């Protein structure tokens, strides 16, 4: 076939036949693709995917691929038997703080810079799996469920706030970690919680106030002293005027030892915040391991003192 003035002219009936067949095949391929997509959509509607936590078939379509049974099994912490400051489970080593309230061994050794930390549930089972679904599998709709839990924690803490609602500040990731993950889980959860604030509440979310200046190593296996040194100087307040003479509520997905939250609270108070609170979705309960680390810390301190005394 020959091009003439922008048109296609077929030089023979054979050319015309080949072109016609090509158009038919192209049309068939497009139709097949459309039918395939429609069939996949119909199958997804009739047969939703399995629950990402337990593997059982989902009863209905949902943006969050988690069954109702798994969500129902995520239960809040029961009151009593926990440290009045950090929320750690109390053991036989627990004692009374200066305020007359029960305190864990770690808070009695070094009192945190925050006034109180509260969490929705224990970091185990279904709650841990939900958090992992958001953080490591990037299933963002999980933030909505976790946000509802965080909203409950914030509302329970609200009675202790001074006049006026505090500024909500998510504990930030380092910039490199956030680029790698694509989002800050603490900010996503906080934004979901913000949508559920009670009428009359003025929860102000300010993620830009706090910055993680440098990446930090994992706190796992470190003694309390090593943990404090690991995060010291890792955070900075960028907008001090927004926290001056204000209460601040730090929000995060999980509270482990509380050392990171305490360091954030320390720099916020230095910037002028009157009091700092901490609200998280989950809290690790590892009192026995913490006590062992405290003993290790104490033994190392005694060894250093003995070496210093011996010259």
Domain hosting residue 197, numbered range: 82-298
Q: Residue 309's pLDDT is what?
A: 52
Residue 5 maps to a domain: no
Residue 169 maps to a domain: yes
Residue 26 maps to a domain: no
Question: Total structural domains in the chain?
Answer: 1
Write down the pTM of the prediction: 0.76
Q: What is the pLDDT of residues 40-73, one digit of tens each?
A: 555 555 556 899 999 999 888 788 999 999 999 9
Residue 57 maps to a domain: no
Instruction: Out of 214-218, 229-233, 265-269, pick the least confident.
Output: 214-218
Residue 49 maps to a domain: no
Distance CA 166, CA 277 (A): 9
Distance CA 255, CA 284 (A): 6
Tokens 């305020």 appear where? 99
Distance CA 300, CA 296 (A): 6
Distance CA 288, CA 301 (A): 20
Q: What is the DSSP code (8-state) at residue 166?
A: P
Q: Which two tokens stand for residue 186?
A: 């603490």
pLDDT of 203 strictly over 70? yes
Q: What is the pLDDT of residues 79-112, one digit of tens each?
A: 778 888 998 888 765 566 656 678 888 888 888 9
Please give the average per-residue pLDDT across 277-288, as a whole number. 86
Helix, strand, coil percentages in the chain from 3-state DSSP, rounded to 5 = 45, 15, 40
Mean pLDDT over each residue of the chain, to the nearest integer: 81
- Sheet containing 116-122: give its strands across: 116-122, 276-283, 248-255, 167-170, 204-205
Percent of the chain with pLDDT over 90: 49
For residue 277, give the CATH number of its domain: 3.40.50.2020
Residue 236 maps to a domain: yes
Please give the average per-residue pLDDT across 254-268, as a whole number. 94
Count how many Cα atoms sit within 13 Å of the Cα of residue 296 in the half-sphere of its side chain. 13
Residue 35 maps to a domain: no
Among 242, 247, 157, smallest CA distance to 198 is for 157
Q: Residue 197's pLDDT is what?
A: 83
pLDDT of 294 strictly over 50? no
Residue 10 maps to a domain: no
pLDDT of 125 strictly over 90? yes
């Amino acid at each position: 076939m020959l091009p003439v003035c922008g048109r296609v002219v077929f030089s023979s009936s054979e050319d015309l036949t080949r072109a016609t067949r090509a158009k038919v095949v192209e049309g068939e391929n497009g139709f097949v693709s459309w039918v395939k997509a429609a069939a996949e959509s119909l199958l997804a509607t009739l047969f939703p995917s399995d629950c990402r936590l337990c593997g059982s078939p989902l009863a209905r379509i949902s943006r969050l691929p988690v069954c109702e049974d798994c969500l129902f099994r995520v239960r809040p912490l029961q009151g009593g038997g926990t440290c009045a400051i950090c929320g750690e489970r109390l053991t036989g080593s627990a004692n009374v703080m200066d305020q007359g309230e029960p305190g864990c061994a770690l808070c009695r050794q070094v009192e945190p810079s925050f006034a109180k930390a509260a969490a929705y549930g224990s970091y185990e089972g279904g709650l841990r799996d939900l958090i992992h679904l958001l953080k490591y599998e990037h299933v963002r709709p999980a933030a909505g469920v976790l946000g509802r839990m965080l909203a409950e924690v914030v509302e329970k803490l609200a009675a202790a706030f001074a006049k006026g609602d505090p500024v909500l500040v998510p504990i930030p990731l380092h910039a490199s970690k956030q680029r790698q993950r694509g989002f800050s889980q603490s900010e996503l959860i906080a934004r979901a919680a913000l949508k559920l604030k009670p009428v009359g509440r003025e929860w102000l979310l300010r993620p830009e106030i706090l910055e993680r200046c440098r990446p930090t190593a994992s706190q796992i296996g470190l003694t309390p002293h090593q943990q404090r040194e690991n995060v010291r100087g890792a955070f900075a307040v960028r907008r001090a005027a927004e926290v001056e003479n204000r209460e601040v509520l730090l929000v995060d997905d999980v509270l482990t030892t509380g050392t990171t939250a305490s360091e954030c609270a320390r720099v916020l108070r230095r910037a002028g915040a009157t009091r700092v609170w901490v609200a998280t979705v989950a809290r690790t309960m590892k009192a026995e391991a913490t006590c062992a680390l405290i003993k290790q810390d104490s033994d190392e301190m005694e060894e250093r003192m003995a070496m210093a005394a011996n010259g």
